[in-house]
């Protein structure tokens, strides 16, 4: 990833209006900033959230709060708790997220 033409700045995530994204169950609330071609998000999943799609977008994702379950299309599963992260390339391994208790994530893609 090449980052250029991004001046130093700070982000107060509480000041960014969230957008709603329904899952098969539950909701995701995204607070999104774009820096050059890089999307950065603070995402909150409600308890009981299950993604409504298999995602093929690459991400670097950090779990800040709660617990996130990630299922890969090939059947492997991973659980992230606060302080854990995952990374995956674009079009590498379709994945989808769920959480029983809710989760707050910081995502760069």
The tens digit of pLDDT for each residue in 36-90 reads 889 999 999 999 999 999 999 999 999 999 999 999 999 999 999 999 999 999 9
Q: Nearest Cα to 84, choosing from 99, 96, 69, 95?
A: 69
Q: Where are the domains of the chain?
A: 42-109
Angle, vertex CA 83, rays to CA 25 and CA 88, nearest 5:
65
| pLDDT of 14 above 70 | yes
41 burial (CB, 10 Å; 0-12 / 13-18 / 19+) is buried
Name the β-bridge partners of 23.
Answer: none
SS3 13: helix
Fold of 42-109: Jelly Rolls (2.60.120)
pLDDT of residue 2: 74
pTM assigned to the model = 0.92
**Structure confidence at residue 26 as a pLDDT band (50, 70, 90):** very high
pLDDT of residue 1: 67
SS3 46: coil
């Amino acid at each position: 990833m090449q980052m250029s033409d991004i001046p130093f700045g700070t982000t107060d995530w509480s000041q960014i209006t969230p957008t709603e994204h329904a899952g098969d169950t539950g909701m995701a609330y995204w607070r999104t900033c774009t820096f050059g071609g890089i999307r950065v998000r603070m995402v909150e999943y409600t308890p009981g959230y299950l993604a409504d799609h298999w995602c093929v977008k690459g991400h670097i994702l950090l779990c800040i709060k709660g617990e996130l379950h990630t299922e890969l299309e090939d059947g492997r599963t991973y659980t992230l708790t606060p302080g854990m992260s995952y990374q995956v390339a674009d079009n590498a391994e379709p994945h989808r997220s769920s959480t029983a208790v809710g989760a707050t994530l910081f995502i760069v893609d």
